[in-house]
Structure 1
């Protein structure tokens, strides 16, 4: 239970912390390892947990990226943000061992630089990575929507240096635009083939530009291509390609295909579930708890699949009751029902709450861990 209490105490630090999967298991006040050099800089590291990265802090503070949240347009989908970060961490684990590298949000790309890169290429902005504005009635879409940087460092004590860098390139699957200011909104569909072509070209330009920085000349640079979902999508996008430029090289010799899917249950309309067994299990879980407590507003699940297999299931239950014993009793029901119907070999998170507040959490962090429960304001 201590682990979960620590996790929620740290949620206020932001989505980027949860993306690296470690700080939720850390007690920064008691478990940080602190070293001080002869000048003014000190480093601390969080404890490692569940095969995640140890996070490097400076002077007791989590280091945030200056380019976080910068986008090319207003095609933003908030549910993409976490997947963009989480997925890049997963890609990075194959290149930078969690046992020897420390995580830090990107520090090499400035906001001014990235804003120019995200803009259209033009005479006044020759470094723009999005295509020039088309002439006449033709429209050239914004392919690149967002850039994410993650740094992976090695070292110890007061001496840490960059050992690898990962770049996430978020590519639009739909570009929303107006032909005239204040006019109607139009949509430009972008196919996966177009994403691949544009993404690879952009990746090579980004790697070549990073190589011009002295400290990044002889380290691996990993790039992931991420497909953003539509603005009204309930699920986040996914990475579909990744590749690494070896030290001293500006070329990505080989791209790896990433097979990842996400969906929300229950499905809408006649849409077929990715896996009928998982959908059936969720339906049984949902029906069981709704029969016990009829005044439940909604039960939805977000499932993530990797290589065709379920990798994570997050369930949200919205209640219409506030009584102490109601919440306690319902949480115990959710726990027993989850054990009965839901998959036992994947991480699962079940949030119980009213419209305004989270009332309880039932979760298992890893595929082989046991469920832990926390009722807010309860025992």
Structure 2
């Protein structure tokens, strides 16, 4: 049972909003647009851990942004979602210290506002951030697919206020469209250069619009540009640029590149692995566990690199066995094999399961932590 709760903690920490589950009561000033700045409500905050933000809860509940999940089109890639959020948190850490700021999902952008912003610009929607459709000969793609808001509060004791905001702009790398209803699907590739140019342009428009809100005039506004992958990609997109408009400024004057890469192993076709040593380590692990049981359906890994260095490795092992001792013994083998072949200097997760169920989880939460193991329905 102790192992079970340790793994639950590990899963809760995976998105960098780490929390040990203990709540602290505090009376934090409510910073929502519909509440007077002098009115207070009872809040709780989670304990921070592993370099993550303390998270603000309202009446014991996690506060969800009203714009979460809104997209410009239906051509979404679900594997992008987690990276879109996680990457913006990582960018925010360079602007808003985890020791000084408290995290809350965005509460200032409304559903109606963001739906209008994600739509095409038109006489009936002058706030649209995607271009007008264009002509039959010149199709204008949807550049902006999604908007993410994260709020960072600062203060102490019973007095907290919004101290900074981060906005993620998910830019399409491919736009899918039909020329006629129910007709064939076409696609328009969007280069990184066009993503950058268009993203920077609309970022300044968003900053200017946000400055019109009283509560957002004198805080830093950080905007990150995220490149979405094609809808059939096995990996999520990555951030490639971010900038911050200083308090009271309506423009981002300096942009900084973000060096992130993701890949899936084994590679497909003639594609080269980002790091041959990491690929070799994974292949050794894969071969060792596949030789143990003849009925393993597949072993794949998703690797994330930051500034050229491996930052996270997640492995999925799909099995075709269900026996109690089979799962127990295979999990022990996977653990010893991971210690032998896989890098010890990065967070790592190994999920073992059938198509329908997760049977076991092996994980290292940080580079310095020990492996944690939980077998579902086991000891």
TM-score band w.r.t. shorter chain: over 0.9
- 1:92 paired with 2:130, answer no
The answer (yes or no) to whether the contact 1:174–1:230 under 8 Å persists in 2 is yes
Query: What is the alpha-carbon distance in structure 1 between the residues aligned to residue 248 and residue 7 of structure 2?
Result: 39
The answer (yes or no) to whether the contact 2:105–2:149 under 8 Å persists in 1 is yes
Please report how far the alpha carbon of residue 253 of structure 1 lies from its aligned counterpart in structure 2 after TM superposition. Answer: 1.2
1:33 to 1, 24, 34: 24
- Cα pair distance change 1:36/1:92, threshold 3 Å: closer
The answer (yes or no) to whether the contact 1:238–1:260 under 8 Å persists in 2 is yes
Please report how far the alpha carbon of residue 226 of structure 1 lies from its aligned counterpart in structure 2 after TM superposition. Answer: 0.1
1:57-100 per-residue CA deviation (whole Å, 9 max, x = no partner) reads 01111000000000000120000000000000000000000001
The answer (yes or no) to whether the contact 2:174–2:229 under 8 Å persists in 1 is yes
- 1:338 paired with 2:338, answer yes
Provide the residue aligned with 1:254 in structure 2. 254
Please report how far the alpha carbon of residue 36 of structure 1 lies from its aligned counterpart in structure 2 after TM superposition. Answer: 4.7
SS at match of 1:377: coil
- Cα pair distance change 1:40/1:229, threshold 3 Å: same
- 1:55 paired with 2:55, answer yes
Compute the TM-score of the two structures, normalised by the length of structure 1: 0.94
- Cα pair distance change 1:374/1:200, threshold 3 Å: same
- 1:231 paired with 2:231, answer yes
Please report how far the alpha carbon of residue 294 of structure 1 lies from its aligned counterpart in structure 2 after TM superposition. Answer: 1.4
The answer (yes or no) to whether the contact 2:83–2:236 under 8 Å persists in 1 is yes
The answer (yes or no) to whether the contact 2:16–2:51 under 8 Å persists in 1 is no
- Cα pair distance change 1:3/1:200, threshold 3 Å: farther
The answer (yes or no) to whether the contact 1:42–1:158 under 8 Å persists in 2 is no
Provide the residue aligned with 2:35 in structure 1. none
SS at match of 2:15: helix
Please report how far the alpha carbon of residue 4 of structure 1 lies from its aligned counterpart in structure 2 after TM superposition. Answer: 6.1
- 1:219 paired with 2:219, answer yes
The answer (yes or no) to whether the contact 1:105–1:151 under 8 Å persists in 2 is yes
Query: What is the alpha-carbon distance in structure 1 between the residues aligned to residue 39 and residue 304 of structure 2?
Result: 46
Q: Report the aligned-residue RMSD.
A: 1.8
Query: What is the alpha-carbon distance in structure 1 between the residues aligned to residue 3 and residue 140 of structure 2?
Result: 49
Query: What is the alpha-carbon distance in structure 1 between the residues aligned to residue 187 and residue 333 of structure 2?
Result: 45
Query: What is the alpha-carbon distance in structure 1 between the residues aligned to residue 333 and residue 326 of structure 2?
Result: 10
4+ residue stretches of structure 1 with deviation over 4 A?
1-4, 36-40
- 1:111 paired with 2:102, answer no
The answer (yes or no) to whether the contact 2:84–2:238 under 8 Å persists in 1 is yes
Structure 1: unaligned runs, 5 residues or longer: none
1:319-353 per-residue CA deviation (whole Å, 9 max, x = no partner) reads 11111111111111011000100011110000111
SS at match of 2:243: strand
SS at match of 1:117: helix
Provide the residue aligned with 1:188 in structure 2. 188
SS at match of 2:203: helix
The answer (yes or no) to whether the contact 1:173–1:195 under 8 Å persists in 2 is yes
Please report how far the alpha carbon of residue 370 of structure 1 lies from its aligned counterpart in structure 2 after TM superposition. Answer: 1.2
Provide the residue aligned with 1:298 in structure 2. 298
Q: Which has the higher helix share?
A: 1
- 1:162 paired with 2:154, answer no
SS at match of 1:292: coil
Structure 2: unaligned runs, 5 residues or longer: 29-37
- Cα pair distance change 1:8/1:339, threshold 3 Å: same
- 1:148 paired with 2:148, answer yes
Compute the TM-score of the two structures, normalised by the length of structure 2: 0.94
